[in-house]
Structure 1
Amino acid sequence: MEKTLVIIKPGAIQRGLVGEVIRRFEQKGLQLCGLKMLQLTDEILEEHYAHIVDKPFFPRVKAAMKATPVIVCCLKGMDAVHVVHRLAGATNGREAAMGTMRGDYSMSVQWNIIHTSDSIKTADLELARFFKEGEIFEYKQSYLEYIYSEDEII
């Protein structure tokens, strides 16, 4: 089973959507393995967004991500990276399909509710960035056999 990172961004926190975001992932059948609130720093944002740190809009992204604390989550499931990324929807909320989180709750690129890892490699790096050893938990999900077929459970 894969693990992936979700960051519930300041816009979702300000709008009281934290429970809704987590509920939608859990209703899909993903297992919550790690959860914590933290205030992002310049250093962690520059590392996390290294691919856009030199772009003229990066200061705006950094300010938005520091507007409130964020909530970081580790989710686990079959093809979790792909499933979570699809549930999030397109980055631009105006273009995201209805039924996705961004399609239902976002009208913006910047204030787009959540960040999700886009690959298994990225998920591994991001989980290590935001969670220390001992902060991601393994436990038996008692209803697993009602989410996956017997041959899918690993």
Structure 2
Amino acid sequence: MPHEKTYIMLKPDAVKRRLIGEIVSRIEKKGYHITQAKLMTLDKTVIAEHYAHLVDKPFYPKLEAFMTSGPVFGMVVEGENAIAGMRQMMGPTNVFEASPGTIRGDYATNVTENVIHGSDSAENATIEIKRFFG
């Protein structure tokens, strides 16, 4: 399995609910390494760039309002098969399909406020790491 880097972001709901430590602990217990991390407040320009594939969707204004409602915690996570492994740990975007034991299954409350984002491919991981960490 390849050693990979991926971008993981704990969304405003996770930060507000003080879940950072618990989720970071789960990531580290799985054997992944967090090599960069920072708390940041995103503006509408960055949100539009990050969610460019969703800007034309009817739910986008609600997503934008949520993502600018408070700080997020961004991380570069590294390890064997980190992209697929983290996505498996996260669970599906639709929290109502997320199994108990996944991060979303255990902590997310609705589809918009779903606690966590993770890159879905090596290409997007590279783009997102550069976007948020330079």
TM over 0.5: yes
Tell me the TM-score normalized by structure 1.
0.84
1:37 aligns with 2:48: no
Gapped regions of structure 1 (runs ≥ 5): 133-154
SS in structure 2 opposite 1:47?
helix
Distance 1:85 1:123 in 2: 12
Residue 131 of structure 1, aligned match among 127, 130, 133 = 133
Residues 106-121 of structure 1 mapped to structure 2, 5 A cutoff: 106-121=108-123
- Structural mapping, 1:1-154, within 5 Å: 1-132=3-134
Tell me if the contact between 1:10 and 1:70 (Cα under 8 Å) persists in the aligned partners.
yes
**Which AA in structure 2 matches 1:71?**
F
Deviations 1:29-65 (A, max 9, x none): 0001000011101111110000011111111000000
Question: Is the strand fraction higher in 1 or 2?
Answer: 2
Structure 1 CA distance for aligned equivalents of residues 5 and 115 of structure 2: 20
- CA apart distance, 1:107: 2.7
Instruction: Tell me, in whole angstroms, the C-alpha distance in 2 between the residues paired with 1:81 and 1:107.
Output: 24
Q: Alignment partner of 1:32: what SS?
A: strand
Normalized per residue, the structure richer in helix is: 2
The alignment's TM-score, normalised by the length of structure 2, stands at: 0.96
Q: CA RMSD in A?
A: 0.7
Q: Larger relative CO (CA 8 A, sep 6+): 1 or 2? A: 2
Shift of 1:91: 0.6
- Given that 1:94 and 1:106 are in contact with CA atoms closer than 8 Å, whether structure 2 keeps it comes out as no
Q: Which has the larger radius of gyration?
A: 1
SS in 1 for 2:53: coil
In structure 2, list runs of 5 or more residues that go unmatched: none
Equivalent residues, number? 132
Secondary structure of the residue aligned to 2:95 is coil
